[in-house]
Structure 1
Amino acid sequence: MTSVSLRRALADPGVRPLPDRAVALLEELEAPPRLAAHLRLVHEVAWHLTEWVTANHPAVEFDRAAVLFGAATHDIGKTVHLAELSGPGSLHEQAGYELLVAQGIDGRLARFARSHASWGADLDVEDLLVSLADRIWKAKRVAELEQLVVDHLAAASGQESWETFMALDDELDRIAADADRRLAFQASYPVSA
């Protein structure tokens, strides 16, 4: 049975709702309310990032629905590794991937649970966007990750790298400016039901 605090975390106004499949998974797994709030926030930032990419780099081919689902479930392994909700750890990454696959989620979508915490030139732009959303929601800037996104966008659009960098930097600054509201939203939900 879904707790009242989890239902609130999944439905309270002010943050974009998660995809229905992600909501169903979180309810079935009896996810901690703070995790649900966090996933909503990262999903919302991913929504803004993908809107921006689509509007500013229409030549970039990417699966927007996959990015949004990945952002909505990237930390789902923390339902298994609860200590990682409020402390460091990476056990949730593989556990999240395995949990999603066991729930019938295609590996192509489950991969974000594994890939969101690390990045490299070998990752798709979808993986990089989920990783970026998971950083910028709280105004954390990671130059190496941002440069990888710039490289993908510039290569696909034929734009100069510096132009792409400047535009992305402006968008990330705009998103980061709302970090205090997002941090307060997440903190308003308990770590456990």
Structure 2
Amino acid sequence: MTFTPHPLPEPAARLLAEVGAPARLVAHLELVHDVAVRLLDRLADACPDLAVDREAVLFGAATHDIGKALHRHELTGPGSAHEPDGHRLLREHGVAERLARFARTHADWHAPGIGVEDLLVGLADKIWKARRAADLENLVAARIAAASGRERWAAFLILDDILDALAADADARLAYQNAHPVD
């Protein structure tokens, strides 16, 4: 069975084409976006009181690593130069700050002014390959608890179940990404 992610938002797909994003980067962004769609759907069902800007999360998930079009070595190795450069690239292409910010916030969960949307993009960027980040998950659980009136441990259990279900498809997502060339 072939894995088919949700299609990217049209403005994000257009931007990726404009900047000449390599196929591997586009595949990665498709996968993180796909996980973000599924994460938001499950959170909406489990925690309807959690207010989330869905459009921002989905655009952020679809473009968070766009700076790797400039720093291609970061597609296969470590590095964070893509974060500020991706933000700059998005702004230069007319993307509003409320949407461009995810390029620089997706890996910086403790920075001042981080919203739940930033945390969810970061979470989708981890769980697509079944990677768990306890500190990030605790921050999201705290937001769920605050919005729902649940105890933090109860909110964490809800989130943990959602993340376990999303992580189950990680092998198929990794195979999908690896089928796309880096350049």
Q: What whole-Å deviation, never above 9, does each CA across 1:66-97 have from its counterpart, x for those lacking one?
A: 00000000000001111101110000000000
Paired position in structure 2 for 1:127? 118
Counterpart of 1:70, as a letter, is G
- Please tell me whether residue 29 in structure 1 is matched to residue 19 in structure 2: yes
Paired position in structure 2 for 1:6? none
**Structure 1 stretch displaced more, 102-111 or 120-129:** 120-129
Q: CA deviation at 1:45?
A: 0.4
- In structure 1, runs of 5+ residues without a counterpart are 1-11
Q: CA deviation at 1:167?
A: 1.1
Of 9, 15, 37, 1:47 maps to 37
- Please tell me whether residue 115 in structure 1 is matched to residue 105 in structure 2: yes
Q: What whole-Å deviation, never above 9, does each CA across 1:18-76 have from its counterpart, x for those lacking one?
A: 00001100111111000000000000001111111211111111100100000000000
- Superposed counterparts of 1:170-181, under 5 Å: 170-181=161-172
Distance 1:160 1:50 in 2: 21
Instruction: Please tell me whether the aligned partners of residues 121 and 148 of structure 1 are also in contact (alpha carbons under 8 angstroms).
Output: no
- Superposed counterparts of 1:11-160, under 5 Å: 14-120=4-110, 122=112, 123-160=114-151
Kindly, what percent of the aligned residue pairs are identical? 57
Counterpart of 1:43, as a letter, is H
What is the aligned residue count? 181
Q: CA deviation at 1:153?
A: 0.7
Counterpart of 1:155, as a letter, is A
Instruction: Please tell me whether the aligned partners of residues 87 and 100 of structure 2 are also in contact (alpha carbons under 8 angstroms).
Output: yes
Counterpart of 1:160, as a letter, is E
Paired position in structure 1 for 2:181? 190
Q: CA deviation at 1:13?
A: 6.8
Displacement over 3 Å in runs of 4+: none
Cα RMSD, aligned residues only: 1.2
SS at match of 1:24: helix
Are the structure 2 counterparts of residues 99 and 121 from structure 1 closer, same or farther at C-alpha, using a change threshold of 3 Å?
closer
TM score, norm. by length of structure 1: 0.91
Q: What whole-Å deviation, never above 9, does each CA across 1:129-179 have from its counterpart, x for those lacking one?
A: 000000000000010000000000100110111111111101101111110
Distance 1:99 1:52 in 2: 32
